[in-house]
Amino acid sequence: MDAISRDRSAIGAAQDLEPIRRPTREEAMEAVRTLIAWSGDDPRREGVLDTPKRVVDAYAEWFEGYNADPAKELSRTFEDVQGYDDIVMLRDIEVESHCEHHMAPFLGKAYVAYMPTNRVVGISKIARVVEIFARRLQTQETMTQQIADAITDSLRPAGVAVLIDAAHQCMTTRGVHHRHVSTITTQFTGVFKTDASLRQRFLDFVNRR
C-alpha cells in the first residue's frame, strides 16, 4: 500500500469512528480519584477529598474554548474606517493554555496584527479569539496557525501576523527541566509574508518597550 492509499485509509477509519460521548461531571470526578490513587495517595483522605470537584471546576474554566466560536466573535465588523489603511495590532495578549502532549500549562504573550481592507473588528474581539484557542488542547504551533486562519477567514484582510512567546511547563517541571526557556512561533499571511519591511515593522512593534 502506497502513502496516499494509507492516508486515505486512515481518514476513512477516522470518519467511521462514533462521536465521543462527553462524560458526566461525576464520571470526570471519578477519573480524578483514579489518578489520585494511581499517584499513590488515598482519594478518601481529608486533604484531597474535595480535590476531584476542584479539578473538574478548573478544567471547565481552562478548556472553555471548546464551547466558543471564534467566527462568531469576529462576525460584527465595521466598514466605516475613514480611509484607515495601516496596521491594526494588539500587543501583550495574555496566553494561558495547555499542551496536548502532557496537558501541562504553557504561559506567555501573543502579538496579533492585521492589515484591514474595507472593514475592522472591535479590538477586544481579537484578544477574545486568542483566548478561545488558548483554552483548548493543542500545540503552540497549531494555536498560532488557528488564530491567523480565523482572522483571515472572517475579516479577509490584506494580511495577518501572529507571534506567540510562551514558556512550557512540560519542559520546565519535567523531562529536561530547563527553566527560563521560551518558545516563539510566528505565522505571516498576505502582505506580512510578501513585504519584508512590513513584517519588520510588526516585529519592531513586538520588541518595543
Task: Read off the CATH number of the domain in which 96 is found.
Answer: 3.30.1130.10
- What Cα–Cα distance (Å) separates residue 53 from each residue in 30, 38, 40, 42, 204? 10, 18, 19, 16, 45
Beta-bridged to residue 184, according to DSSP, are 165
- Grid coordinates representing 152 are 483571515
What is the average pLDDT value for the chain, to the nearest integer? Answer: 90
Residue 96 and residue 52 share a domain: no
H or E element at residue 141: helix 140-155
Q: What is the mean pLDDT of residues 8-24?
A: 73
User: pLDDT over 90 for what percent of the chain?
Assistant: 75
**What does the pLDDT look like over 73-90, one tens digit per residue?**
999 888 877 778 899 999
**Domain that includes residue 96, residue range:** 70-207
Residue 175 belongs to some domain of the structure? yes
Query: Do 76 and 131 reside in the same domain of the chain?
Result: yes
Lowest mean pLDDT, pick from 131-135, 180-184, 202-206? 180-184
Does one domain contain both 111 and 41? no
- Asked if residue 42 belongs to a domain, the reply is yes
Q: Among residues 192, 174, 104, which one has the least CA distance to residue 140?
A: 104
Do 74 and 58 have their domain in common?
no
Domain assignment present for residue 132? The answer is yes
Q: In a 10 Å sphere around its CB, with 0-12 CB exposed, 13-18 middle and 19+ buried, how is residue 68 labelled?
A: middle
Phi, psi of 59 (to 5 degrees): -65, -40
Q: What domain count does the chain have?
A: 2
**Number of C-beta neighbours around residue 203 at 10 A:** 15
- Give a yes or no: residue 2 inside a domain: no
Buried/exposed code over 145-154 (b: 16+ C-beta within 10 A; e: otherwise): bbbbbbbbeb
Higher pLDDT, 194 or 209: 194
3-state DSSP assignment of residue 134: helix
Same domain as 37, residue 87: no
Same domain, 81 and 102: yes
| Same domain membership, residue 175 and residue 95 | yes
Do 119 and 153 fall into the same domain?
yes
Higher pLDDT, residue 80 or 70:
70
CATH number at residue 36: 1.10.286
Whether residue 113 sits in one domain with residue 54 = no
Question: Regarding beta strands 88-99 and 137-138, do their DSSP bridges make them parallel or antiparallel, or are they unpaired?
Answer: parallel
Instruction: Please tell me the predicted confidence (pLDDT) of residue 135.
Output: 97
pTM of the model: 0.85
Residues 40, 130 within the same domain: no
Q: In the chain, which ranges are E strands?
A: 77-78, 88-99, 105-115, 120-121, 137-138, 159-168, 183-190
| Same domain for 171 and 135 | yes
- pLDDT bin (cut points 50, 70, 90) of residue 5 is low
Residue 139 located in a structural domain: yes
Q: Which residues are catalytic?
A: 99-102, 140, 168, 170
58 and 100 inside one domain: no
- The tens digit of pLDDT for each residue in 167-184 reads 988 777 777 777 788 999
